[in-house]
Structure 1
């Protein structure tokens, strides 16, 4: 059920809910080419609900040959479903697809809210670092150093691995736009610890040790 629909990007600033015509065909017991032709025929109607996106995906049984795979947003997918015969597989898939879109929509909203809540707190940390007695040693890079430290501990991944969640390198995006709502909650808890230690006058190494050690123990999340 989880693969019926998906987020188009791990970057929460531009992620959209979508499914594709291959999923619709396979789950409805139809031929992929038939669903694709149905979309081609009704392209103008579908584009009233947004840009009709597609990817050129390699065929598994051919050498270098690619096929167009349409990506459909929620409204486009529901419109396509109304054009299909109401067979038992189609009816079951309609219900499952609606539920999956609802789940993803809640997940997307949770991650976007978590990101929005974090931003004002980030300004407080930014100000604390700027006024920190150890700040001049490395200049403005301290802000990046702290955010990278907190994000890598919160996710359990390196900075490179976090950025690798998004394969679109055409646009630079903040590191924190690529982490989940659960990871953002851990990030905020770690941020509070770092902020408190900075305000207490601690140097970087003790802060790093304290933050890193938390990754080796269960994280206590506070609201």
Structure 2
């Protein structure tokens, strides 16, 4: 079996819980989905001891004839681990089990690293805010903090906050920081520290901006901004 992605999260949010699906188990274990679903329903109570048993309803592909919506179960790590113990231990199933374990571990490690960077970034963010507040050459008006935040994102990632929100599907109530990958968070934290240092050196906003523009963007994100759908 080629290494294929079998573990997912709902979005790029670093606090999402990783899961796999009955569809993935069917596709890479060689066991029919009907059998997988029967195992799930038969052992529903056992599985629910490890969390809510989630599912999605997948509609038939547009343009195809016939077909009914199908229920696709989503299993967290504990649920998936328990379920696969109920499968016959064929060579293909054993291979899939090992890959599933690897990918759950890799996904959890990635999310944990992002969470740790995110926490350290909060400390850096407070440091930058305090530096602005304590500066003798920078005013403490609200727009000053806003300008520095825009400068931070633009010079660290190459995109402003609004474009990041659009590309990652983040609404105004959620923080885009929770949807950045490890490299993006690293770049943002590095830039925060640089800005704090420059402010502490007594530079104005314009001077800080000129220095950072000369240094260029730390990490250019590969964002795809969704195109606006025109009116019919």
Same fold by TM-score, threshold 0.5 exceeded?
A: yes
Match in the other structure for 1:189: 190
Aligned positions of 1:1-223 closer than 5 A = 1=3, 3-12=5-14, 14-60=15-61, 62=64, 66-132=69-135, 133-136=137-140, 139-164=141-166, 166-167=168-169, 169=171, 172-216=173-217
Which stretch shows the higher mean deviation, 49-58 or 77-86?
49-58
Retained in 1: the 8 A contact 2:170–2:176?
no
CA 1:110 to 1:42, structure 2 compared with 1: closer, same or farther past 3 Å? same
SS at match of 2:49: helix
CA 1:26 to 1:125, structure 2 compared with 1: closer, same or farther past 3 Å? same
| Aligned mates of 2:85, 2:24 — CA distance in 1 | 16
The runs of 5 or more residues in structure 2 that have no matched partner are: 221-232
Report the number of matched residues: 215
Using structure 2 for the length normalisation, give the TM-score.
Answer: 0.80
CA 1:70 to 1:167, structure 2 compared with 1: closer, same or farther past 3 Å? farther
- The CA deviation at 1:30 is 2.3
CA 1:143 to 1:217, structure 2 compared with 1: closer, same or farther past 3 Å? closer
- The CA deviation at 1:104 is 1.1
- The CA deviation at 1:50 is 0.8
| Aligned mates of 2:58, 2:162 — CA distance in 1 | 26
Using structure 1 for the length normalisation, give the TM-score.
Answer: 0.83
CA 1:140 to 1:39, structure 2 compared with 1: closer, same or farther past 3 Å? same
Retained in 2: the 8 A contact 1:155–1:179?
no
| Aligned mates of 2:12, 2:78 — CA distance in 1 | 21
SS at match of 2:20: strand
CA 1:141 to 1:10, structure 2 compared with 1: closer, same or farther past 3 Å? farther
SS at match of 1:9: coil
CA 1:158 to 1:196, structure 2 compared with 1: closer, same or farther past 3 Å? same
CA 1:217 to 1:42, structure 2 compared with 1: closer, same or farther past 3 Å? closer
